[in-house]
Amino acid sequence: MTETQTIDTMEDILKMLDARLREPGPFWDKFYEDRTKPVPFFKNIPDENLVRYVEQGWISPGDALDLGTGPGRNAIYLATHGFSVTGLDLSATALEWATEQAQQTGAHVAFRKQDFLETTEQNTYDFIYDSGCFHHMAPHRRLTYVTRLKEMLRPGGYFGLTCFVAGGPLGGATLTDWEVYQENSLQGGLGYTKERLLSIFDAFDVIELTEMKPVDNPEALFGHAGLWTGLFRLKD
């Protein structure tokens, strides 16, 4: 057994479990290579719930982080509505596309290639938005994910989430946490029930937690059945 395969710390255990699942960076680089694929969120349009949060005044312009920004569509929306935005992603391919789209729309977004779990910022953001990253988070990394949210948000900061409904029309794997490691797979993304989300994010007050509303004009907004949308506020 080599030195790198010994378990001496909790981080070694986490890395061992990481190794049982696919490496995310190369997967997402390949996923974003073909920009012509008929993927609804490849269009440069924001989530319907995010637009609603802004238009109803539930969130106000401030420092925002778009977590798993992909081609940057939600980051660009926030930047054009008064927010100072950082867009974070594992995929250099996605970030190249996001940068191009931001330049085309005149939006200023600070895009950065980094794993959210490896960030070190503290009390930096008023709003963190995750559209489709959380359901690709392995169970053993979930606690770190929530910890980083709490550390990076300023007091009273907001967290917005879009993720798969368990067993919904978009997939939403109904695996238990243990079954993820028995199968060595997230099966395309884990699905969640409302009750499970409330349990995971119990450090936050719930502003709204509802299913995404399908939209009448898919050229202007992204809205698709089978996704939870949530807005949470960090508890005092």
For each of the chain's 236 residues, which pLDDT tens digit applies?
445 689 999 999 999 998 988 888 888 889 999 999 888 888 999 999 999 999 999 999 999 999 999 999 999 999 999 999 999 999 999 999 999 999 999 999 999 999 999 999 999 999 999 999 999 999 999 999 999 999 999 999 999 999 999 999 998 999 999 999 999 999 999 999 999 999 999 999 999 999 999 998 888 999 999 999 999 999 99
Nearest to 196 by CA among 114, 148, 135: 135
Strands, sheet with 84-89, edge to edge from the N-terminal-most edge strand: 109-113, 84-89, 63-67, 125-131, 153-164, 227-234, 204-211
Provide the pLDDT for residue 1. Answer: 42
Phi then psi for residue 226, to 5 deg, are: 100, 10
Structural domain spans, the chain: 14-31+45-234
CATH class of 14-31+45-234: alpha beta
pLDDT of residue 131: 97
Spatial separation of the C-alpha atoms in residues 28 and 8, rounded to whole Å: 31
Answer yes or no: are the C-beta atoms of 64 and 154 closer than 8 Å: no
Output the CA torsion sign for 67, 148, 198, 84. Answer: negative
Take residue 164 and report the two structure tokens written for it: 């798969």
Question: Is the pTM value of this prediction over 0.75?
Answer: yes
Chain centroid to Cα 51, Å, comes to: 16
**DSSP class of 82:** T
Distant-in-sequence, close-in-space partners of 137: CB < 8 Å, separation ≥ 6? 145, 190
Q: How many helices (H) does the chain have, and how many strands (E)? A: 8, 7
- Indicate the helix (H) or strand (E) that contains 212: none
The angle at the Cα of 91, spanning 81 to 200, to the nearest 5 degrees, equals 70
Question: Which residue in this structure is represented by tokens 């990076």?
Answer: 152
